[in-house]
Chains A and B, each alone.
Chain A
């Protein structure tokens, strides 16, 4: 049978049609069954997430949890449910990806499974490989199951895919349109061989492919059991109703924002090719219960890989709103009140063949940051100053002469979070779009010919504020054996994460390479690639601190004194940033001097 987009008595409605009304629609479903179906659908996705992560090989999936699983509508491709522990940035993208598959799908049968990683077809970057599978019930197409997993490599000019200087998508790796990797449940070895011939570390990918496909099979079994129990019509009605309810809940949250227009900005250091900052500019119009996002004031398309495809741009806005209103469940209804105008002719609306490897890891976080920045004044009790917001990607590739094999080491780092109404920001938090753990130093030293000389807080990097930002990370790692090449895709090297409500910006990201005793800094500060290293050379990175929240002069002097005692700040920083003067040889607050300092100086605006 064929999945097409022809009108049907489809209960979800056409996504292109009128937006749904504010009030929940009435159905015959009792509220208890509805709640049980909601839980049941989420449970199906959670079980897919779990199956995927436990069996995966790619540490990016199994350890960094860079994956997501969901259920999508049979004709519209809209999101029905998503696992609770999926990677946040995939919140919105997967429905666009599924829609792209639906448009191209033909001759569907049970057991078919599409593979696709084309960024322009509802994706992120090439490394995020999507599996999309039609789900049949009683011989009819009922829904689609899909998942995304970040593969460690999909070919291209640098190992790992994060080329800082690519200017065309072909340089970034193998691009797959939707093709059936499994046909009727049988793996197509010809397509597989094309894939494996074009990527690095191919020997372990078969493990990931099987894990990713097996997760969707788990979803099939669980969704079948759910429908067996409640019946097709009831589940369909439930799906429709849940969409309306999620929309209603998002609208209720939006109504807590005062009507008006809000403006926010964030900056990408450079695109990696042209050394100029890129601006994400968002204007948010809040009216009644909708938010309209206008990104058209952002920079034009760029030469390097910091372009964002529209699916990622939209998803980043969704993600930001989910961070602000975490209690709202996620399905297609959640996104209805968020109207995002297509930002044509900007770097946030990338078309073929613009390179896009930086969009999922970096630009997405800048978009979220601009949204946070815009809404801080509107929701001062709920928002926070900007988080470090970079994935801090450092890749080292080389050959270990002792082990006689080549390697690619990824160091993905956290940074400080922004201060917020309740507390200081946490230190070394993960990226805004991720939920992953970092790799322990002891594990990296076991696998790769490196020695870490320092792994510490980036002192002084927390932006000053009544609630200060958290601190970034400071590490220095030395190459022990063999030649190697280093690449960096980081951000916030030019300007630290923005403070809020009078708080100062967080500390900037810094990359230093020590070669033969001399210092080299990347011209683009946070992005570079193919830097040749010899044994004994070392790489030193400071990641950004979080922005400060509220006026620094309002911070309690005792807390500033404690922060100095802990070595978070120096005494000079305490005086200059917070207006707190400490005694010369102890950590006691000099109250008179502090009063004089705080009243005599102009408070930062």
Chain B
């Protein structure tokens, strides 16, 4: 029986740990600085800080940014490519775009440089027929040449391998005899979907982060073992599920962007437990906001995410959209005399003025401070304290004087504009996924999310906001509650009218069997296996896909047609009986459900020694004397009417006048928003 669980998430600044002992209801937290060179030190420090006895620990679940950082900073393993003759430049040519709609400059660096991209004779057509047999000796020669060039990892990527992988499989076997390690990636294994640039990119990302991830995890697992931890480590992936450390490196690409995914998983778990099924997640930090969608308790998953310009990863990942607005976003007056907030950010260095690290330009965080929303004495990460007067002077000179406003009015304007921009971006995120934000609750976390969430919800017409008990360790909670998960996609691309339904049933059955087999390889307790099935469909001639969930593994053609029509109408309010529907992809996700984690003990309701007090805080209604409460001092069932400020170590929640928060059984703040 699994009692003692630890979730450890490595973020950009902090490594967070959440430990729960289900038998004693002991809950421990730790927040220690991340160690960028080797994240394992931070993990071990967090375990020490929380006094976790590794001998007694039943399960450790880990979220790491090792692969995300390696990719974004291009600190990749030296990787070679063996591909179809005539196509070695696919990875460099991309899909013929440019970094920005306006401006003819910008740069793109291919994941594998041209001198390490080699070609062999082979060709398979779109129907899967072999047109040119594989030149097997050339494959071996390429592998030797890449080894000689110092490659540690290799990608085999052939055209139409999603349709017929025979050449990739054969080439893999040939390379395996020569290659000194297991870092061989065949494109179709990572993603069995058409589009050569996207499939090749997923494979190239996989191969080039694989050695980095494997080295990191080997060191971590060894170290944990030496310290007495007897079990498997689970690693968080971008699809919001976890997988055993022993096999995660096989599909290393799937750990990219796992940080944002674990936040959304925690949000889904916490919201469901609170009885809220439809949620927009809003994680605001220092430089950006991550926004995700949860519908009916299930986080939206996308296969079309782009990690940065021209780096698409089309394996299924929790659909998290990043908006360039965070506490460090800089406010300024542009040449038109208009107040603008962001997208430029002061980042962590020099950071907002209030961090005292040499920042001189006013930011969103400084505005929150000046308006009394943030407590100047309780800021994390301040180097040299800066006086509120200095910040006021900066607002006056940079924003106030040009616009004829006082320092406070200027700061208020910055918040208003920032909220307005964020609300617009949030709307676009939900609309582009086909949802009206008014049908959702806003789940706010991250250091700055709860500062802005209620006003943002009001702007969006969202009726309620949920601030979890521990907004600052949401990702660690996500690790702890995430299921084991394996995703599969297969391209079919046939009109319903000529589709052999047995093909669909066969694909669904095979995908489920593959997932169950993977679960069996992992040595982790699961309560049940859950299978999510869906298909991507479109009308003939369209290029955008609509994902439609399936109820079982044997849908009839008629059911598929009707479900698509219904989904299309819901989304676009357009009916097109004139045009034929096409089934493009079949998806299966196989989830191993772990035993539930009890959230009621996340906050220990200690009476705070601090007496209740109030301070002057700016709201749209004007400056109000506002009670300041400690989050730990709130009682289950307590109702707090705005205006109020609720402070806790990792965040501050702002309740404007007119809204009302209730503390629920899991110590979440459930805020009902009075709409405009």
The contact of A56 among B113, B123, B424, B542, by CB within 8 Å, is B542
9-residue interface stretch from B316-324, B425-433, B555-563, B588-596: B425-433
Contact between chains at B338 and A35 (CB < 8 Å): yes
Closest to A420 in B: B105
* Residue ID in chain A nearest B424 by CB atoms: A43
Q: What chain A residues lie within 8 Å of B101 (beta carbons)?
A: 84-85, 88, 326, 435
Q: Tell me which of A178-186, A267-275, A426-434, A501-509 binds B.
A: A426-434
Known: A57-B539, A207-B579, A566-B114. A435 touches B98 (CB 8 A): yes
Q: Are A55 and B572 in contact (CB under 8 A)?
A: yes
Task: Decide if A442 touches B335 in the complex (CB within 8 Å).
Answer: no
Given contacts A39-B424, A437-B97, contact A322 B337 (CB under 8 A): no
B542 in contact with A423 (CB, 8 Å): no
Interface residues of B in 78-104 (CB under 8 A from A): 86-90, 92-104
Closest-by-CB residue of A relative to B433 is A54
Give the nearest-CB partner of A84 in chain B: B101
CA distance A413 to B432 in the complex (A): 27
With contacts A55-B574, A57-B541, A204-B541 taken as known, whether A248 is within 8 angstroms of B337 at the C-beta atoms is yes
A50: which of B87, B197, B428, B573 is its contact (CB, 8 Å)? B428
The reply on B576 being an interface residue by CB < 8 A is yes
Nearest-Cβ distance from residue A99 to partner chain B, whole angstroms? 24
Instruction: Report A557 CB to chain B, min CB distance, Å.
Output: 17
Q: State A308–B621 Cα separation when bound (angstroms).
A: 55
- With A39-B424, A211-B572, A430-B98 given, is the CB distance from A440 to B195 under 8 Å? yes
Q: Give chain B residues whose Cβ lies under 8 Å from the Cβ of A38.
A: 338
**A residues in contact with B104, CB < 8 Å:** 323, 372, 384, 387, 417-418, 420, 429, 432
Is there a chain B Cβ closer than 8 Å to A24's Cβ?
A: yes
Residues of B521-556 whose CB lies within 8 A of A:
539-544
Whether the pair B576, A207 counts as a contact (CB closer than 8 A) is: yes
Chain A nearest CB from B345 CB (Å) reads 16
Q: Does A1 contact B (CB under 8 A)?
A: no
A456 touching B576 by the CB < 8 A rule?
Answer: no
**Chain A residue, CB-CB nearest to B131:** A451
Give the total of B residues in contact with A, Cβ under 8 Å: 71
Known A-B contacts A249-B336, A438-B96, A456-B88; A445 and B539 likewise in contact (beta carbons under 8 Å): no
Per-position binary interface string of chain B over residues 100-126, scored 1 when its CB falls under 8 Å from any chain A CB and 0 otherwise: 111111111000011100000001011
Could you tell me if A229 and B676 are in contact, using CB atoms closer than 8 angstroms?
A: yes
Given known pairs A54-B432, A445-B125, A565-B115, the reply for A437 and B89 (CB within 8 Å) is: no
Q: How far is the CB of B39 from chain A (nearest CB, A)?
A: 32
Q: How far is the CA of A43 from the CA of B357 in the complex (A)?
A: 36
Expressed in whole angstroms, the Cα–Cα distance for A601 and B649 within the complex equals: 69
A495 at the interface (CB under 8 A from B): no
| Minimum CB–CB distance for B123 against chain A, Å | 8
Whether A593 is near chain B, meaning CB under 8 Å from some CB there, is no
> Which chain A residue shows the least CB distance to B114?
A566
Question: In the complex, what distance in Å separates the CA atom of A451 from the CA atom of B84?
Answer: 13
CB of A245 within 8 A of CB of B103, answer: no
Contact A429/B98 with A418-B104, A422-B105 known, Cβ cut-off 8 Å: yes
Kindly identify which residue among B114, B428, B542 contacts A62, using a CB–CB cutoff of 8 Å: B542
Is B601 interfacial (CB 8 A cutoff)?
Answer: no
Chain B residue numbers with a CB within 8 Å of A229 are 676
Measured CA separation A437–B115 after assembly (Å): 26
Residue from B102, B160, B571, B572 having most chain A Cβ neighbours under 10 A: B102
Q: Is the CB of B97 within 8 A of A50?
A: no
CA distance A428 to B93 in the complex (A): 6
Expressed in whole angstroms, the Cα–Cα distance for A42 and B424 within the complex equals 10
Contact of B107 among A423, A435, A436 (CB under 8 A): A423
Q: How far is the CB of A407 from chain B (nearest CB, A)?
A: 12
B578 to chain A, nearest CB (A): 6
List residues of chain B with CB within 8 A of the CB of A47: 427-428, 431
> Is B420 interfacial (CB-CB < 8 Å)?
yes
Whole-angstrom distance between the Cβ of B298 and the nearest chain A Cβ: 21
Q: Does B35 have its Cβ within 8 Å of any Cβ on chain A?
A: no
Q: Which of B372-427 contact A (CB under 8 A)?
A: 403, 405, 413, 416-417, 420-421, 424, 427
A455 to B336, Cβ gap below 8 A? Answer: no
A440–B194 contact, CB under 8 A? yes
Tell me which residues across on chain B come within 8 A of A454, comparing CB atoms.
86-87
Asked if A258 CB lies within 8 Å of chain B CBs, one says no
B159 at the interface (CB under 8 A from A): yes
A565 to B413, CA, bound (A): 55
Q: Of all chain B residues, which has the CB nearest A244?
A: B336
Q: Any chain B CB within 8 A of the CB of A473?
A: yes
Bound CA–CA A326/B572 (angstroms): 32
The answer to whether B487 has its CB under 8 Å from any CB of chain A is: no
Chain A hits for B96, CB < 8 A = 412-414, 428-430, 436-438, 473
Whether A442 and B159, one on each chain, are in contact in the complex, defined by CB atoms closer than 8 angstroms, is: yes
Given A39-B420, A88-B101, CB of A452 within 8 Å of CB of B86: yes
In the bound complex, do residue A567 and residue B335 qualify as a contact, i.e. CB atoms below 8 Å apart? no
- A566 close to B493 (CB less than 8 A): no
- In the bound complex, residues from chain A placing their C-beta under 8 Å from that of B115 are 565-567
Whether A8 sits at the interface, judged by CB under 8 Å, is: no
Residues of chain A within 8 A of B90, CB atoms compared = 441, 455
Tell me the count of chain A residues lying within 8 A, CB to CB, of chain B.
Answer: 88
In chain A, positions 549-590 with a C-beta closer than 8 Å to chain B are 565-568
A341 at the binding interface (Cβ < 8 Å): no
Expressed in whole angstroms, the Cα–Cα distance for A438 and B339 within the complex equals 38
Interface hub of A384, A387, A456 (most chain B Cβ within 10 A): A456
- B576 close to A206 (CB less than 8 A): yes
Given A50-B431, A430-B96, A451-B131, are A32 and B339 also a contact pair (CB < 8 Å)? Answer: yes
Contact of A430 among B97, B159, B493 (CB under 8 A): B97
Given A204-B540, A210-B574: A453 and B86 within 8 A (CB)? Answer: yes
State whether A36 touches B335 (Cβ < 8 A): no
Q: Is A285 an interface residue (CB 8 A)?
A: no
User: Which of the residues B125, B194, B432, B543 comes within 8 Å of A59, measured between beta carbons?
Assistant: B543
In the bound complex, what is the Cα–Cα distance between A46 and B99 (angstroms)? 19
Q: A31-B338, A443-B195 are in contact. Are A437 and B126 (CB under 8 A)?
A: no
Interfacial residues of chain A within 304-335, with CB under 8 A of chain B in the complex: 322-323, 326-327, 329
Is the C-beta of A257 less than 8 angstroms from some C-beta in chain B? no
Give Cα A322–Cα B101 distance, bound, in whole angstroms: 10
Residues of A with C-beta under 8 A to B105: 384, 417, 420, 422-423
Interface status of B334 (Cβ within 8 A of chain A) = yes
Task: Tell me which of B125, B196, B540 has the highest count of chain A C-beta atoms within 10 A of its own C-beta.
Answer: B196
From A36, A62, A418, contact of B416 by CB (8 A)? A36
Are B417 and A246 in touch, CB under 8 angstroms?
no
Q: Are A440 and B95 in contact (CB under 8 A)?
A: yes
A63 at the B interface (CB under 8 A): yes
A365 to chain B, nearest CB (A): 11
- Interface-centre pick from A417, A422, A426, A451 (highest chain B CB count, 10 A): A426
Residues of B within 8 A of A36 (CB): 416-417, 420
The verdict on A249 contacting B576 (CB below 8 Å), with A229-B676, A430-B98 known, is: no
Kindly list chain B residues whose C-beta atoms are within 8 Å of the C-beta of A203: 578-579
What residues of chain A have their CB less than 8 Å away from a CB belonging to chain B? Answer: 24, 31-32, 34-36, 38-40, 42-43, 46-47, 50-51, 53-59, 62-63, 84-85, 88, 201, 203-204, 206-207, 210-211, 214, 229, 245-246, 248-249, 252-253, 322-323, 326-327, 329, 372, 384, 387, 412-414, 417-418, 420, 422-424, 426-430, 432, 435-438, 440-443, 445-446, 451-457, 473, 476, 565-568
Given contact pairs A43-B427, A430-B98, a sample of 17 additional A-B residue pairs in the complex whose CB atoms are under 8 Å apart: A24-B337, A31-B413, A39-B417, A53-B544, A203-B578, A214-B573, A248-B336, A323-B104, A422-B105, A426-B107, A427-B92, A429-B98, A441-B87, A451-B131, A457-B89, A567-B115, A568-B114
Give 8 closest A-B pairs by Cβ, nearest first: A414-B96, A326-B102, A454-B86, A245-B336, A249-B336, A438-B96, A566-B114, A252-B335
Give 12 CB contacts A-B under 8 Å: A39-B417, A50-B428, A54-B572, A57-B542, A58-B541, A59-B543, A322-B102, A427-B93, A436-B96, A446-B126, A455-B87, A456-B87
